[in-house]
């Protein structure tokens, strides 16, 4: 870690000496000068919600924050939020069908319990570690990313990063409409509609519809997705507005649990095979309703309230495990899991923002409270005994489909009611013309009541979490800021609302991060550069008790040291370049796993699904006023699939390309090519690395957009 600190301090000294004038300095508030071919972009000086509730820009925030505009995401052909976010600095995909395909890795930490995903600032408390919303990128206005601990902003479950998806909002003005139709490889189809504008002097709206269909690139890989996003805004007075929004998503994703390894190797001839049963199920239905009020009480005080109702229903029915026996050279299918989730969440968040003086210094403070009540029910065929204990033999090249068969019935298992309440505050104080201080505190209270619907037993657990952050920002020049921050977080042992009686005996895991960084606008604000170095230590991991393998103890520790850098350039002749790279050294400092009844130390091993290096590059050019082209490279280093660090997923490099042509004044044609060189690669893994979830082969997608 010392080398990261040293390099950053050297940059600090060089920049400071080069600009040692006494002129007053303020961080810029304008946007980067854009070329004529630019889509809407978000710069370091654009106020966002990424790293603060005070609507600070990245230059003003003592943390690693990044924002992607919806136009940018769609122009690159990213189909999901996870596809888009994994092009940002240091984040990679780890999703599987079991977690809704949405799991991410950031700064050495993986999964829904450590990388939180929000929609319009709202968090769905995940049951069994599953998130399935938002559905696609059509309705996305912006994606904000905060890397590092963020529990002080959003509660437990935010050690690695927070991803906040902001949908398109109502706007004032003439009604504008946008229609898209698309067709591509594997019979992929899209019909989409976007409409918004003013209905009256005080009423405005936004409506988005998107329908997706595909036959899939694996056998029996049909998928479908339907999404509706609607919002109505009423400007009651100049200082008071109300917005009612509802989002609905229904998904049936490609039911693919990975390709099995044969003798430890991936066979390209099996790339398109689907080893699941014929009556498989994977169905997600999500509904989000929000009523938001914004009130500018006076010049110094504003209030915001958001009342929301979230509903999620999920259903799986699959044979998930495909194992190859080296001795018999036989592939077998097992793991017949039938699972259903029903979840309802009602919540309210009230905040007040104050502009005031603190010890004679300009200051801004936001305070608030939020409350959630979550009801969750799990149905399954637990204890998941197969009819054939040794698995069903399969022909690897011509697998018989068969039907879902379990030795245990599908039935109600348990339900839980979770009540959560928190109070929080955040402050920014301008200490001098160059220095500013950003601090925050939060206290969470959570109570979980669980009813076992099989034997009638009951259990409950009360958890509390205290988190804080403190960061300094120093304006080296008008276009350069240096920052340092310490922040804490808490993570649950498993999904908070679905804690088992055995999990309820443990406390929340805790983490602390120390981070320093540099953010700079240069070349007449046509370039952006960021650099960050960090260390995160997470304690209270659940590890096996070496004295009694049947018991657990909460003594484990994991650490991550890393450095991240990003570069954004708007070059001459209408060239644009975005690039980033990250290096992370993550390891278990204190962790034991029981293997065959014997405790085995995993100290020094790298956590599962964590690559040491990631990098992304996107280069685009306006060839003419009407013709634009772009290409991107995504690199993910090798990752381990097991805690013993024996099963490894190889690194991969994937190239994508796009082309758009404004054929008529209101008509634009587009071409997207994914995996241009048809690379066979493992995007994630399942069954401790015995199955590789492969990325999609080379595919194309043609779009036609019409605005009126």
Bridge pairing between strands 115-119 and 161-167: parallel
d(CA 91, CA 82): 9
Which of 27-31, 42-46, 69-73, 675-679 has the weakest average pLDDT?
27-31
Length of the chain: 708
Which H helix or E strand runs over 154? helix 151-154
**Band of pLDDT at residue 7, cut at 50, 70 and 90:** very low
Query: What's the pLDDT band for 127 if we cut at 50, 70, 90?
Result: confident
CB 607 within 8 A of CB 536: no
Which residues have CB under 8 Å from 224's CB, separation 6+? 212, 213, 214, 250, 251, 252
- Segment 56-67, tens digit of pLDDT: 999 999 999 999
Average pLDDT over residues 456-482: 95
The mean pLDDT value for 572-580 works out to 95
> Is the link from the previous residue into 297 a cis peptide, with omega within 30 of 0?
no
Question: What is the Cα–Cα distance from 222 to 242, expressed in whole angstroms?
Answer: 40
| Residue 231 exposure: Cα atoms within 13 Å on the Cβ side | 25
What is the per-residue pLDDT for 18?
39
Answer whether residue 659 shows pLDDT above 90.
yes
DSSP strands (E only) in 571-674: 575-590, 592-595, 598-601, 613-622, 627-636, 639-640, 648-649, 652-664, 667-674
- Report yes or no: 332 and 391 within 8 Å, Cβ to Cβ: yes
Higher per-residue pLDDT: 202 or 504: 202
Asked if residue 573 has pLDDT above 60, the reply is yes
Q: Per-residue pLDDT for 29 more than 90?
A: no
Sign of the Cα torsion 545, 547, 550, 551 reads negative
Looking at every residue in the chain, the average pLDDT score rounds to 91
How much is the pLDDT for 196? 98
Angle at Cα 686 formed by Cα 685 and Cα 687, nearest 5°?
A: 140
Contact 221, 282 (CB under 8 A): no
Q: Is residue 111 pLDDT above 80, yes or no?
A: yes
Burial label, 526 (beta-carbon count in 10 A; 0-12, 13-18, 19+): middle
Q: Which of 411, 318, 424 is nearest to 370 (CA)?
A: 424
Name the band, by pLDDT with cuts 50, 70 and 90, for residue 609.
Answer: very high
The terminus-to-terminus CA distance of the chain in angstroms comes to 55
Mean pLDDT of 629-655: 96
Helices (H) and strands (E) in the chain, counts: 4, 37
What's the pLDDT score for residue 543? 67
| DSSP assignment of 331-392 | EEEEEEEEEEEEEEEEEEEEEEEEEEEETTEEEEEEEEEEEEEEEEEEEE-TT--BSSTT-E
Range with the poorest average pLDDT among 23-32, 160-169, 692-701:
23-32
Please compute the mean of the pLDDT values over residues 29-38 and round it to a whole number. 34
pLDDT for the residue 215: 97
Region 164-179 average pLDDT: 97
* Residue 367: partners with Cβ closer than 8 Å, 6 or more residues away: 351, 352, 354, 423, 424, 425
Residue matched to tokens 């400007």: 235
pLDDT digits (tens, 9 = 90+) for 398-433: 999 999 999 999 999 999 999 999 999 999 999 999
For the four alpha carbons of 263, 265, 269 and 272, in that order, the dihedral sign comes to positive
676 with 705: CB under 8 angstroms? no
Residue 19, pLDDT > 50, answer no
More confident residue, 640 or 49: 640
Cα 137 to Cα 26, 83, 314, distances in angstroms: 35, 10, 21
pLDDT at 85: 97
């Amino acid at each position: 870690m010392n080398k990261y600190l040293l390099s950053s301090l050297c940059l600090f000294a060089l920049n400071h000496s080069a600009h040692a004038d006494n002129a007053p300095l303020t961080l810029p508030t304008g946007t980067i000068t854009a070329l004529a071919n630019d889509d809407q972009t978000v710069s370091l000086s654009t106020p966002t919600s990424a790293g603060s509730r005070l609507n600070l820009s990245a230059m003003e925030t003592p943390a690693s924050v990044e924002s992607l505009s919806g136009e940018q995401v769609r122009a690159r052909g990213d189909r999901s939020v996870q596809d888009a976010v994994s092009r940002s600095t240091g984040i990679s995909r780890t999703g599987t069908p079991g977690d809704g395909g949405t799991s991410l890795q950031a700064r050495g930490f993986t999964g829904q319990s450590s990388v939180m995903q929000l929609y319009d600032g709202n968090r769905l408390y995940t049951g069994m570690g599953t998130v399935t919303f938002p559905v696609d990128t059509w309705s996305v206005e912006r994606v904000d990313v905060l890397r590092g601990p963020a529990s002080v902003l959003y509660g437990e479950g935010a050690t690695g990063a927070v991803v906040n998806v902001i949908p398109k909002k109502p706007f004032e003005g003439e009604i504008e409409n946008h229609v898209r139709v698309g067709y591509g490889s594997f019979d992929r189809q899209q019909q989409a509609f976007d409409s918004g504008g003013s209905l009256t002097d005080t009423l405005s709206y936004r409506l988005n519809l998107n329908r997706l269909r595909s036959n899939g690139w694996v056998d029996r890989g049909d998928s479908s997705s339907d999404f509706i996003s609607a919002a109505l805004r009423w400007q009651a007075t100049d200082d008071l507005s109300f917005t009612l929004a509802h989002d609905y998503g229904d998904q049936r994703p490609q039911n693919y649990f990975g390709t099995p390894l044969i003798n430890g190797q991936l066979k390209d001839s099996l790339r398109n095979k689907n080893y699941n049963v014929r009556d498989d199920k994977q169905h997600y239905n999500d509904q989000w309703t929000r009523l938001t009020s914004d009130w500018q009480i006076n010049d110094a005080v504003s209030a915001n309230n958001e009342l929301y109702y979230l509903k999620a229903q999920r259903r799986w029915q699959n044979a998930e495990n495909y194992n190859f026996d080296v001795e018999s050279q036989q592939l077998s299918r097992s793991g017949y899991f039938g699972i259903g989730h029903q979840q309802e969440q009602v919540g309210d968040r009230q905040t007040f923002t104050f502009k005031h003086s603190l010890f004679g210094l300009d200051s801004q403070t936001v305070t608030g409270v939020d409350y959630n009540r979550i009801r969750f029910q799990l149905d399954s065929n637990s204890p998941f005994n197969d009819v054939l204990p040794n698995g069903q033999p399969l022909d690897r090249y011509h697998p018989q489909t068969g039907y879902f068969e379990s030795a245990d019935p599908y039935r109600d298992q348990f339900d839980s009611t979770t009540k959560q309440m928190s109070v929080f505050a955040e402050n920014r104080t301008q200490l001098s013309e160059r220095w500013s201080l950003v601090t925050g505190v939060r206290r969470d209270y959570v109570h979980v009541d669980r009813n076992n619907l099989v034997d009638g037993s009951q259990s409950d657990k009360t958890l509390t979490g205290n988190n804080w952050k403190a960061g300094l920002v120093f304006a080296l020049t008008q276009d350069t800021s240096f920052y340092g921050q310490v922040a804490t977080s808490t993570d649950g042992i498993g999904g908070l609302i679905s804690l088992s009686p055995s999990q309820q005996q443990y406390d929340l895991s805790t983490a602390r991060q120390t981070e320093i960084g540099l953010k700079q606008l240069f070349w007449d604000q046509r370039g952006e550069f960021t650099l960050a170095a960090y260390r995160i230590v997470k304690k209270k991991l659940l590890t096996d008790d070496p004295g009694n393998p049947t018991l657990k103890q909460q003594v484990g520790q994991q650490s991550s040291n890393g450095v991240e850098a990003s570069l954004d350039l708007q070059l001459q002749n209408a060239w644009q370049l975005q690039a980033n790279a990250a290096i992370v050294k993550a390891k278990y400092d204190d962790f034991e796993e029981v293997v065959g009844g014997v405790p085995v130390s995993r100290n020094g091993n790298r956590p599962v699904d964590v690559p040491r290096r990631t990098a992304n590059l996107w280069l685009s050019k306006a060839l003419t006023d009407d013709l634009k082209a772009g290409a991107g490279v995504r690199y993910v280093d090798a990752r381990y699939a097991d805690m013993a660090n024996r099963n490894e997923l190889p690194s991969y490099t994937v190239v994508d390309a796009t082309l758009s042509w404004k054929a008529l004044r209101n008509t634009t044609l587009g071409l997207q090519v994914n995996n241009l060189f048809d690379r066979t690669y493992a995007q994630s893994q399942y069954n401790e690395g015995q199955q590789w979830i492969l990325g999609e082969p080379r595919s194309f997608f043609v779009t036609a957009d019409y605005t009126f």
